[in-house]
Structure 1
Amino acid sequence: MEYNNYTVEDLVADESFQAWVAQSNATSVAFWQEWTHAHPEKAATVQEAVAWLRALQLRERTIPDFQLQRAEKRLLAAIDNYPIERPLHKRHWARWVAAACTLVAIAVGANYWWQNSTVTYETGFGETRSLALPDGSLVVLNAHSTMKMARNWNLNRPRELWLDGEAFFNVKHTLQHTPFTVHTQDADIEVLGTTFNVLQRHNKTQVVLTTGKVRLTRPREKTTVVMQPGELVELRANEPNVIQQKVNIERYVSWKNNHFVFDNTPLADIIEMIESNYGYDVEVADADLLSLKLTYRLENNDLELLLTALSEALELKIEKDNNRLIVSQK
């Protein structure tokens, strides 16, 4: 099999690669040790795929239902076997009942907490984070973003996530055809198995579909949009209009590979990204500069390199003042 062109997602899905990471098959271990030595240029891709799989192996364990059932049976057995022949003092009986009720309340409360609590993942400014979900789906969380999901994640219930910020999703299709939904402030994005990018900032939700098919629903407006690969859908809070158009996908998903790709991108959009992802306040001396457009590819997401590229390509003067960037014409 030809692995030279495999992406991180391809490696994670490969059973032989999984066996090598888990050290569960001698043939796979020998093959991948030899292959990684022969292809040092793929080291970064391999390391990221290994990190994904280890994160998946170390995911939080759910509390098995049989443990709760076993505890319930023990409690009921204790009640059934309690010696009723011996008269009980009313105070002792009340104490026993109170203790039993406490045990039941603890069991019910723990179960309710587990069923209804959430896990939160966050990133800081300038930070991205790769996550492997319990169902095998993969998520790359962009800078300054938050994602929440149910602690009790299982394939017998709809898979749901809540996103504030930006993330790229590679959703695994399940035999149960379990729905996968990403909730943002203004929309619900429903998929079965696909890859797509979601950006939710500044009262704007933007979805870019790379593969598969998704259905985007606006609950308040009760409207639905079906997307095809290569399309962008953008909507804003309290605005009825929906933008749906074909786009250059790489421009919107290059961040997950630590690249900057701009394709006739307005300076206003670039400034918004810098403020959101790096935490700077950007001041522009002349509003006309915001309409300048940049077409550029940078194989690194270092902010200093980006500022240098902006300065040279658009003939801008960019000054730093603590947490502020001041942009003016040269």
Structure 2
Amino acid sequence: MRFREFTISDFLQEPSFRSWVLEQDATATAFWEDWIRSNPDRREEVMQARQWLQVMGSATFVPSAEDGPATWSRILQTIDKTERTGKPGIFTLHPIMGKVKNRRWLPYAAVLAGIAVLYAAAFLVFSGRDIRQQTAMGELKTILLPDSSEVKLNVNTSLRYAEKWDASAPREVWISGEAFFAVRHKNNQQRFIVHTPDMDVQVTGTAFNVNTRRVQTQVVLNNGVVKLELHQHGSGKAAPIVMKPGDMITYSAATNELTNSKVNPEVYSSWQSKKLLFTDTPITEVIKSLQDNVGITIELQEESLGRQTFTGTIPTDNVEVFFRILSKSLHVTVTKTGTDTYRINQQ
């Protein structure tokens, strides 16, 4: 596929990529999330391109042709100065800042220059820096945060937080993917906030699971109390939602869909033990979970199979267990069609 050969600048100009990042288009989102799972070695470049596009937005200011080279010179000088301070910021600036020879970048030049200058100034004022943690498909990682709170990252997940936290300010982290948080309670009631594209999860000390996959955020509370502030567009600020142990809240800012249900929290955090638990779960949902946690794609030849349910445990390091159980219980045939692709047929 041609996207395999894309540079970061190519991604930024791709219409479907822009629809995913800027418009949260459902079709584009599904395509790019599946593409990243199928091409994990390109994930870093895709995420960098996504960050740049989010920063640039839909900039419409077009500098004159004479201003272009000077503007890029300012950007490069700012980046060079920033790197020499040894204080990297939220964005990795250098991947797309080589020698700019194409004038298609000129519409963004002034915007990027302003951003670069602001970031450089901030780096010189603040002594802290952002820490980034990331896992690949098949990799789990346990992180100890500055306050000794513990975060366990599921596969294909990224986490960002400050190297140092001010005791008088909220403790904040940003997550993409899935993670389990065990937050330490602070005597001064210092808040802990998990930022996702759909909501802010606020706690003081508790344990909960956060999943931001598939254009929505799902929070499952194991113990303690959690308050959610939803990111709603054009409808004013909604009242915070207070969760109790056993609650599961799922919300999408893109569709404004909100669901609330009672669940067994252990089911939703079982991935920490490299296993997935299911109870009367539709096969279609099991397949989505395997795609997210194992990185495989399963095609159902008959739509009716997706409505069948599955109860059991699937080791994430041995998905063949699931196929054997499914073959016997539903009388189906599982065929491996590629490195990470399978097809299920009714016998």
The two structures have a TM-score, normalised by structure 1, of 0.63
CA deviations over 1:84-136 (Å, ceiling 9, x no partner): xxxxxxxxxxxxxxxxxx9xx96977543643x42111111122111111211
Please name the residue that 1:155 is paired with.
Answer: 167
Q: Displacement, 1:187?
A: 0.9
1:246 aligned onto 2:262: yes
Please name the residue that 1:290 is paired with.
Answer: 306
1:129 aligned onto 2:141: yes
Taking structure 1 as reference, are residues 306 and 127 closer, same or farther at Cα in structure 2, changes over 3 Å only?
farther
Q: Displacement, 1:252?
A: 0.8
* Paired residues for 1:124-273 under 5 Å: 124-221=136-233, 222-223=237-238, 224-273=240-289
* Paired residues for 1:26-65 under 5 Å: none
Please name the residue that 1:112 is paired with.
Answer: 125
CA deviations over 1:191-214 (Å, ceiling 9, x no partner): 111000011111021110010110
Contact residue 130 and residue 139 of structure 1 kept, 8 A: yes
CA deviations over 1:10-32 (Å, ceiling 9, x no partner): xxxxxxxxxxxxxxxxxxxxxxx
Contact residue 158 and residue 180 of structure 1 kept, 8 A: yes
Q: How many residues align?
A: 226
Contact residue 260 and residue 301 of structure 1 kept, 8 A: no
| Letter paired with 1:178 | Q
Supply the distance in 1 between the matched residues of 2:191 and 2:138 (Cα, whole angstroms).
32
Contact residue 231 and residue 253 of structure 2 kept, 8 A: no
Q: Displacement, 1:257?
A: 2.0
Contact residue 315 and residue 321 of structure 2 kept, 8 A: no
Q: Displacement, 1:301?
A: 4.7
Supply the distance in 1 between the matched residues of 2:167 and 2:318 (Cα, whole angstroms).
39
* Paired residues for 1:6-25 under 5 Å: none
| Letter paired with 1:323 | D
Taking structure 1 as reference, are residues 280 and 300 closer, same or farther at Cα in structure 2, changes over 3 Å only?
closer
SS in 2 for 1:201: coil
Supply the distance in 2 between the matched residues of 1:314 and 1:154 (Cα, whole angstroms).
56
Q: Displacement, 1:256?
A: 1.1
Q: Based on CA coordinates, which of the two structures has the bigger radius of gyration?
A: 1
SS in 2 for 1:152: coil
Which stretch shows the higher mean deviation, 121-130 or 311-320? Answer: 311-320
Please name the residue that 1:306 is paired with.
Answer: 322
| Letter paired with 1:175 | N
Q: Displacement, 1:235?
A: 1.3
Supply the distance in 2 between the matched residues of 1:213 and 1:205 (Cα, whole angstroms).
17
1:322 aligned onto 2:335: no
Contact residue 145 and residue 163 of structure 1 kept, 8 A: yes
Which stretch shows the higher mean deviation, 131-140 or 289-298? Answer: 289-298
Unaligned runs of 5+ in 1: 1-101
Q: Displacement, 1:176?
A: 2.1
Which stretch shows the higher mean deviation, 315-324 or 144-153? Answer: 315-324
Contact residue 219 and residue 249 of structure 2 kept, 8 A: yes
RMSD of aligned C-alpha atoms? 2.4
Contact residue 232 and residue 256 of structure 2 kept, 8 A: no
Identity %: 32
The two structures have a TM-score, normalised by structure 2, of 0.60
Supply the distance in 2 between the matched residues of 1:314 and 1:150 (Cα, whole angstroms).
50
Unaligned runs of 5+ in 2: 1-80, 88-120
